[in-house]
Amino acid sequence: MIRDFLRSRAFGLVVPLIAVAFGLIAGAVIMLLSGNNPIDGYSGLIGGIFGDMYYFGETLRAMTPLILSGLAFAFAFRTGLLNIGVEGQVIVGWFAAVIAGISWDAPGIIHLPTALMAGALAGALWAFVPGILKAKLHVHEVIVSIMMNYIALHVVNSLIRGVFLDTGQRTAFVPDSASLSSEWLQGVTDFSRLHWGFLIALAAAVVMWFLLWKTKKGFEFRAVGFNQNASLYAGMNVSGNITSSMSISGAFAGLAGAVSGLGTYGYIEIFNTFTNLGFDGIAVALLGNSSSIGIVLSAFLFGGLSEGSGNMQAAAGVAPELVEIIIALIIFFVASSYLIRWIYKRLDSIRKGEK
Amino acid sequence: GENNETTDVNENAGNNNAENNAENNENNDGEEAAEGDFSAKMVTDTGGVDDRSFNESAWEGLTTFNEDYPETEVDYIQSDDSADYQPNLNQLAREGTDITFGIGFLMLDDIRTVAEQNPEQNFALVDDEVLDGDDEPVDNVANILFAEHEGSFLTGVVAAMHTETDHVGFIGGVESPLIEKFRNGFEAGVNYVDEDIEISSQYAQDFNDPNQGQQIADSFYGNDADIIYHAAGDTGNGLFTEAIDRREGGEEVWAIGVDQDQALTEGEYSDGNVILTSMVKRVDQAVYEVAEMTMNGEFPGGETLEFDLEDQGVGIAETQDNVSDEALEAVEEYEAEILNGEIEVPQTEDELEEFLADL
Amino acid sequence: MDLFLIILYTIVPAALISATPLLLTAMGGLFSERSGVVNIGLEGLMVFGAFSGILGTLFFESLGFGMLSPWLGILTAAIIGMIFSLFHAVASISLRADQIVSGVALNILAVGLGVYITREIFDAGQTPTISARLFRQDVPLLSEIPIIGDMFFSRVYPTTWVAFLLVIVVWFVVFKTPFGLRLRSVGEHPAAADTMGINVNRMRYIGVMLSGLFGGMGGAIYAITAAGSFSGGTITGQGFMALAVLIFGKWHPFGAFGAALFFGLAQALSISAQSIPGLQDVPQVFMLILPYVVTILALAGVVGRATPPKAMNTHYEKGSR
Amino acid sequence: MDYVIEMNNIRKEFPGIVANDNITLQVKQGEIHALLGENGAGKSTLMNVLFGLYQPEQGEIKVRGEKVDVTDPNVADRLGIGMVHQHFMLVEKFTVTENIILGSEPKSRGAIDINKARKDVKEISDRYGLRVDPDAKIEDISVGMQQRAEILKTLYRGSEILIFDEPTAALTPQEIYELMSIMRNLINEGKSIILITHKLKEIQEICDRVTVIRRGKGVGTVDVEGMTETGLAEMMVGREVTFEVQKGEAQVGETVLNLKDLVVEDARGYDIVDHLNLEVKSGEILGVAGVDGNGQTELVEALTGLREVKSGSISLNNKDITDYKPRKVTEAGVGHIPQDRHKYGLVMDFTIGENILLQQYYQKPYTNNGIMDYKKLYEKAESLIEEYDVRTASSHTLARSLSGGNQQKAIIAREVDRSPDLLIAAQPTRGLDVGAIEFIHDKLVEERDSGKAVLLVSLEMDEVLNVSDRIAVIYEGKIVEIVDAKDTDENELGLLMAGGKQEAGEAE
Ligand SMILES: Nc1ncnc2c1ncn2[C@@H]1O[C@H](COP(=O)(O)OP(=O)(O)OP(=O)(O)O)[C@@H](O)[C@H]1O
Ligand SMILES: Nc1ncnc2c1ncn2[C@@H]1O[C@H](COP(=O)(O)OP(=O)(O)OP(=O)(O)O)[C@@H](O)[C@H]1O
Ligand SMILES: [Mg+2]
Ligand SMILES: [Mg+2]
């Protein structure tokens, strides 16, 4: 009985929920220890997520690129690759999409898709490098993708600075024909920056699920991820699969950048540091167990917590870093689901013993 | 609902006698408070409210304002990344804040958007000018600029007066028009004193890499520069590290700080302080003034206030222990020349070239 | 030729400075990964090391320890880093969390906790600047050696030489002592180690805690020598670079030494390029990406495949195969 | 009676299964005691209990008459119990010496005294006749030498009671022969041995007594003398077992596989397959016999497209398939039961269903226009699971959790079901119990009887002799002789495998 439950899908949901609860309790303890009122803190936080349509819209807006960068990491992860380079792929994707947006004119029906494609392609290209090196020369993809992050940052900054600078630190705005922003979505959410990219991100989650679990290619990606030799034996093109799954991962990352550029901002600016969208994507993916649904949910949690933290500070004077602590602890508890299972089993056997 | 027509920048900015205003408004204030507290709040950029730079300075302005007018309410919201600017500005606007300051030119576009969405609210942007789609100023936004080039010119003068090797340096954070103003002003100042002084300059392309700052400083000092000015945020801390290190090793080198009187917090070594002087940008004063004007119903919406040498919006730091009297005299002299228009300090590369050609 | 030497005189000392924290942190990663625990959390360990190193220095300064303070600060960071690393150890060893996930959580936690505590203590997002510092010094005698002396032994931080000595110590410990043999066996084939009576989990705990110790020192040295204070932006990516150094160096102390130095050189070159005739006209962006591009080329061309410890990223349960 | 080891009424449970159910095992001083049982009967579990890796739920253990509590391998070590595990417990990147001293290293001034260690290893290996190179890395040495290193590990610790868990499964006949004499040496030195093996012949040859367990329960202990192989097998399986492979005359047809002057390099660039010529015809099983390392592995890899051919040609049904990629080889009509089932045969983290369709997933009806139809895939897998008697909880179970025999059955189901013209079976029964072996041999014969060509590569002389119609002996990358299985015997084969023919030829 317990064994069945512990293995069941339902339990798969219970673990993250308990983990979130643990994380929040730990956060409350930290607030108490540091002399803050946890109830005020959390009501500020929740107010900052659900308080009104504006905040809710902003939360959805914040989670949009996180879904995509989470998918990017998860896709590679599912195929046996560690794509630490999501960050760099986000940056080049952002850049390419905005440049495709500002450098020519076309009707929206062509312009917007091209700009999005440009972003995805740039991300894919950036990920192709560690992919091909891994496939052909067995170079560890982790280092190459870390290096590619820095290269992306410097190259993109220098191109903006040298070629595309408009005012201040940014390029010109993309025209409406290449913009994802939606007056309607802004209208219903009381002027939040929610944009069509949100739907693209949700669609991408479906795409990833479909690709991995419904297509022939997905079968091969997963097989190669688990066992290259057996995949070779079964006639799969191993190095081709490594390269393409890395590139697909990069395309998701590039889209994450593209929706930020075409949706939230409308431009790209010189980055003083990394955007962190990519690094947060790693955490989102891991928290979501690298599954599409899990990623959407954990991106919501991430987006919500970080949006809400502003209000938490304003309303209760709690430093926004608390949210990072809570996120880290939630990840910790999810990863340690063994602990939760163990506690559950213990409780169960105590209950039985009493009967 | 203050409606201000665009007025002449200087005319308005000239009206900056803070103390005077403060006294004048004591009476006024009681009425305002009765209607509901006047609130002035700010959104920091990603540096945070305690960045020992302009965010901190702006917050100081607001806290002083609050001390002077205790019935008012002041507060800030911190931004963790640039995607936070808009929600944070929006949040303050929604709370009905009487004036919301955006600190840093990175907030330019966000403040425009939020201001357009909340036409009843007042905003002010530090370090840039908000223009709408037709390049016209936005009615409910006041723009606060500083003449960094003028202040940097004076530090350039100090550097030129102090250099023993006739070689000085400049370290920039990320290359951008704003940081260019610092550099061009500095170079103009140095070469105005002595055309033959060599100036090395380099961008770290990062505001947050003290290690690189140190290495750049190392290579400048190693190539005989003895005074280095920085406009590079945390990267500049590496400059101080290197300067202290060389000082301890007996070398006579100097560093010049930026934005605040950095000698107060940085640069100490066993036998003094390596910071020769700093280029101070009085964000506090600017914020204070704009808040006060707004409270008095004189919100300078749609206007651009440039705080320059004349209004003491920029200048060299109060800590002057290391500066020679000679240099101070020169500073005074050139300051007067700038004020009376004899010297027009260049802001851009092109202007600098022209300026140097005319020497 | 002379010019070449002059270039070396500028960039070698600079390379040593940037290599030091990377190298120490990579040594930490080496202990952890050699014992079979992946350590993506090196970044977080450095962050926490930087935080506790600065805090420790400030604390000892205030007690009047003077010039001893930074050293005590580094020691503090080593100890606190070790304690902090228990987070990763407990999760990934005892609670069988995925090691990569746990490392990522560690990174997020370090920044959050470091800045949060900083705010609580100083009411600001960054600490004050330390005043007791470490200074670059000439190494007695050695700095007199012609050419080499000026390059390697003049104006170096004492921490650099401590780090280099530690590399030798690490090498000795890992490859020459029973402890090292056991540590490596646990990372290669935990079941085999278990049958030889070695407590697998205990070795792994030690491995991870040593990574905390070294990572903490690495972060502290970076903060104390270069930054002088701690804020959320003090460590941005150095831990990942240290991970790259470890992999590039093929999980070997001397390999990591070479990799760190190589990396430091590339970086120093990119910074000094503007004062080197011939390189002055190269657009800065090429110089900025140089270290990273060269690393990729080196991996692709010369260094080739690196095989990680075999049991890395696996949990050990008795009796499982 | 003085038993060195007494395990009384041992019970050990794993979640959902009782691996040892009230088993009693008594080992006399100075004997070689066999432990016999099918795959999964519980032999390894029982030994792991004795060695302290598992704690029993019930039962007692006595060592030299004294009741002991073996809480971990260190306790076993102190009691003089050493174990050579079924799956080698060697660190591949370490040297032989390092592996042996691990956990009890000689020290001098804090460092390992590697010279003393090497000397000690040398001394012990000389004493028991265990040839090893103390400085060689495990990954570079033969399986036989790895085995000897494993034994040395126990001797180095001074173990008096040695447990060998299936030590011969991966050894060549020569190595088995050597191992036997080593075991005799050990007994002469006064040690006692518990030997687990599926090879009844070995039991007969070397063991004194045998304890048989079946499905976790003890069946009994008997003296080996007077027991026949059939008797032992019956005791173990609980039914009659035939050892002779039942097969009729071969109906030999056209040439299916034709290899001409085939040259293949090994990883170090050495011509390990060296101008090899061979034909396999439909309706026959051609066995390739040879000592390990004479190019068998590379030959099979070249045939199946996993390794590049340097020169020469491979043709299948008169069509040149040299340098075809694996998938094209498969589609041309080749089935391949790989030698290493974990490395090549299975994706261990895929379900057993996905593994069974690993060669067909991309074809209709499992894939239509790039979209998979998992429903069809699992339907097919389930029918094969049924047909080939793969014992698994469901078709959605991960391959990892199946026992070796059942994993192998799944591979055979996959390869045979496609009904390839040529079936290449490399070491298809390694490590399996007699029941499973019987099943697999029957399948090979069935294929041959339906007119397919079968190429059987095996290191087990028995298997080659029993199953094949013709036997090709491979030596140093060449086929040195082809003999009719009916007309040859172990002696002749053994001689040929050792290069006998060539030497004879050279002498002429
Ligand atoms: N670690 C384990 N966890 C759970 N069940 C196990 C474990 N090890 C063994 N078992 C169970 O115990 C039974 C006995 O396994 P064991 O390995 O002892 O068999 P064996 O007799 O050694 O088989 P073989 O001849 O294949 O080596 C298995 O059928 C399996 O169900
Ligand atoms: N760690 C484990 N957890 C759960 N079940 C296990 C475990 N190890 C083995 N088993 C079970 O034990 C049974 C037999 O396993 P075992 O490995 O002994 O088979 P085997 O035939 O000896 O395989 P091999 O040929 O690989 O040695 C399988 O049914 C498997 O499910
Ligand atoms: Mg077994
Ligand atoms: Mg077995």
- pLDDT at position C169 is 97
Give the best residue of A272, A305, A321, A324 to mutate against chain B (max B CB count within 10 A): A272
Which value, to the nearest 10 degrees, does the dihedral of the CA atoms of residues D451, D457, D463, D466 take? Answer: 40
In DSSP terms, which residues pair with D289 in a beta bridge?
Answer: D458, D473
- pLDDT at position A6 is 54
- pLDDT at position B14 is 34
Query: Rounded to an integer, what distance in angstroms lies between the CA atom of residue A54 and that of residue A32?
Result: 30
CB contact (8 A) between residue C116 and residue A325: yes
Query: Rounded to an integer, what distance in angstroms lies between the CA atom of residue A303 and that of residue A211?
Result: 26
- Give D151's contacts (C-beta < 8 A, 6+ positions apart): D84, D128, D130, D162, D164, D182
pLDDT tens, N- to C-terminus, chain D (508 residues) = 578 999 999 999 887 678 899 999 999 999 999 999 887 788 989 999 999 989 999 999 999 999 999 998 899 999 999 999 877 899 999 999 999 999 989 999 889 999 999 999 999 988 888 888 999 999 888 878 888 899 999 989 989 999 999 888 777 777 788 889 989 989 998 999 999 988 888 899 999 999 999 888 999 999 999 888 888 888 887 777 666 777 888 888 999 999 999 999 987 788 999 999 999 999 999 999 988 778 999 999 999 999 999 999 999 999 999 989 999 999 999 999 998 888 899 999 999 999 999 999 999 899 999 999 999 999 999 999 999 989 888 899 999 888 778 899 999 999 999 899 999 999 998 878 777 888 899 999 999 999 999 999 998 888 999 999 999 999 989 999 999 998 988 888 888 887 766 544 443 3
Q: What is the DSSP letter of D246?
A: -
Residue B13 pLDDT greater than 50, yes or no: no
In a domain? residue A321: no
- What is the average per-residue pLDDT within A118-134? 96
Cα–Cα distances in angstroms (integers) from residue B72 to residues A317, B65, B68, D74, D128, in the given order: 18, 8, 9, 75, 94
Q: Which atom of ligand 2 is nearest to the CA of C319?
A: 1
Closest by alpha carbon to C290, among A158, A94, A97, A93? A158
Looking at chain A, the whole-number percentage of residues with pLDDT higher than 90 is 56
pLDDT tens profile C192-210: 999 898 999 999 999 999 9
- pLDDT at position A311 is 82
Strands B141-146 and B304-307, sheet pairing: parallel
Query: Rounded to an integer, what distance in angstroms lies between the CA atom of residue C254 and that of residue C244?
Result: 14
Which ligand minimizes its atom distance to the CA of D19?
A: 1
- pLDDT at position B5 is 33
Looking at chain A, the whole-number percentage of residues with pLDDT higher than 70 is 95
Give the best residue of A29, A140, A275 to mutate against chain C (max C CB count within 10 A): A140
Residue of A nearest to C287 (CA): A154
Residue B325 parent element (H or E): helix B325-339
Max avg pLDDT among A105-119, B51-65, C256-270: A105-119
- Half-sphere exposure of D494 toward its Cβ, with a 13 Å CA cutoff? 9
Residue B4 pLDDT greater than 50, yes or no: no
Which position has the higher pLDDT, B305 or B36?
B305
Chain C residues 241-270 within an 8 A CB cutoff of chain B: 267-268
Max avg pLDDT among A33-37, B281-285, D231-235: B281-285
- pLDDT at position C299 is 77
Query: Rounded to an integer, what distance in angstroms lies between the CA atom of residue C284 and that of residue C301?
Result: 25
User: Which pLDDT band, with edges at 50, 70 and 90, does A51 fall under?
Assistant: confident
- pLDDT at position C11 is 83
- pLDDT at position D506 is 43
- Domain containing A247 equals 66-300
Three-state DSSP at D82 gives strand
Query: Rounded to an integer, what distance in angstroms lies between the CA atom of residue B11 and that of residue B4?
Result: 14
Residue A329 parent element (H or E): helix A321-335
Query: Rounded to an integer, what distance in angstroms lies between the CA atom of residue A146 and that of residue C42?
Result: 14
Which ligand minimizes its atom distance to the CA of C321?
A: 2
Residue D15: what are its φ and ψ, rounded to 5°?
-50, 115
Where is average pLDDT lowest: A88-92, A231-235, D268-272?
D268-272
- pLDDT at position B31 is 37
**Ligand 2 lining (C-beta closer than 6 Å):** C 320; D 39-40, 44, 401-405, 431
Residue B29 pLDDT greater than 60, yes or no: no
Cα–Cα distances in angstroms (integers) from residue D19 to residues D12, D76, D194, D199, in the given order: 6, 21, 19, 22
User: Which two tokens mark C222?
Assistant: 């970076």
Residue B350 pLDDT greater than 90, yes or no: yes
Residue A2 pLDDT greater than 80, yes or no: no
A-chain CB neighbours of D359 within 8 Å are 234-235
C-chain CB neighbours of A139 within 8 Å are 296, 299-300, 304-305
Where is average pLDDT lowest: A149-158, C153-162, D95-104?
C153-162
Q: What is the DSSP letter of B305?
A: E
- pLDDT at position D18 is 87
Where is average pLDDT lowest: A101-110, A243-252, B295-304, C309-318?
C309-318
Q: How many domains does chain A have?
A: 1
- pLDDT at position D507 is 39
Query: Rounded to an integer, what distance in angstroms lies between the CA atom of residue B145 and that of residue B168?
Result: 27
Residue B22 pLDDT greater than 50, yes or no: no
Closest by alpha carbon to B124, among B133, B134, B114? B114
- pLDDT at position D400 is 85
pLDDT tens profile C4-22: 777 788 788 889 988 999 9
CB-CB contact of A49 with A323 (8 Å): no
Domain boundaries, chain D: 3-237, 255-507
- How is domain D255-507 classified at the architecture level of CATH? 3-Layer(aba) Sandwich (3.40)
User: Which two tokens mark D284?
Assistant: 């026959």
Residue B233: what are its φ and ψ, rounded to 5°?
55, -130
Mean pLDDT over the full length of chain A? 89
pLDDT tens profile C253-306: 999 999 999 889 888 888 877 777 777 788 888 888 888 888 888 778 766 566
The residue type at C52: S
By CB atoms closer than 10 A (0-12, 13-18, 19+), residue B94 is middle
C226: left (phi over 0), alpha (psi -120 to 50) or beta: alpha
User: Which pLDDT band, with edges at 50, 70 and 90, does A10 fall under?
Assistant: low
Do D3-237 and D255-507 have matching folds? yes
User: Which two tokens mark A277?
Assistant: 């969208």
User: Which pLDDT band, with edges at 50, 70 and 90, does B298 fall under?
Assistant: very high
In a domain? residue A143: yes
Query: Rounded to an integer, what distance in angstroms lies between the CA atom of residue C23 and that of residue C242?
Result: 7
- pLDDT at position C69 is 95
Query: Rounded to an integer, what distance in angstroms lies between the CA atom of residue A256 and that of residue A172?
Result: 20
User: Which two tokens mark D379?
Assistant: 């339907």
- pLDDT at position B25 is 38
In a domain? residue A185: yes
- pLDDT at position C304 is 56
Where is average pLDDT lowest: B20-29, B159-168, B284-293?
B20-29
3-state SS string for D125-183: HHHHCCCCCCCCEHHHCCHHHHHHHHHHHHHHCCCCEEEEECCCCCCCHHHHHHHHHHH
- What is the average per-residue pLDDT within A64-92? 95
Residue A244 pLDDT greater than 60, yes or no: yes
Cα–Cα distances in angstroms (integers) from residue B125 to residues B140, B241, D185, in the given order: 11, 33, 92
A319 touches chain C (CB under 8 A): yes
Across the interface, of B84, B90, B207, the residue whose CB is closest to A54 is B90
pTM of the model: 0.86
Which position has the higher pLDDT, A55 or A155?
A155
User: Which pLDDT band, with edges at 50, 70 and 90, does A350 fall under?
Assistant: confident
CB-CB contact of D466 with D441 (8 Å): yes
Query: Rounded to an integer, what distance in angstroms lies between the CA atom of residue D148 and that of residue D145?
Result: 5
In DSSP terms, which residues pair with B199 in a beta bridge?
Answer: B168
Residue B11 pLDDT greater than 60, yes or no: no
- pLDDT at position A11 is 67
B-chain CB neighbours of A313 within 8 Å are 77-78
Query: Rounded to an integer, what distance in angstroms lies between the CA atom of residue C53 and that of residue C46?
Result: 10
> Which residue carries 């019930």 as its tokens?
D58
Q: Neighbours of B (≥3 Cβ pairs closer than 8 A)?
A: A, C
- How is domain D3-237 classified at the architecture level of CATH? 3-Layer(aba) Sandwich (3.40)
- What is the average per-residue pLDDT within B88-94? 88
Q: How many CB atoms lie within 10 A of CB B264?
A: 16
Closest by alpha carbon to A193, among D508, D87, C299, B87? B87
Q: If you measure from the C-alpha of residue B32 to the centroid of ligand 3, how many angstroms do you get, rounded to a whole number?
A: 88
Q: If you measure from the C-alpha of residue D216 to the centroid of ligand 1, how many angstroms do you get, rounded to a whole number?
A: 9
- What is the average per-residue pLDDT within A215-233? 94
In a domain? residue A25: no
Cβ pairs A/C, distance under 8 A: 140
Three-state DSSP at B240 gives helix
Name all domains of chain C by residue range, CATH numbers in brackets: 3-302 (1.10.3470)
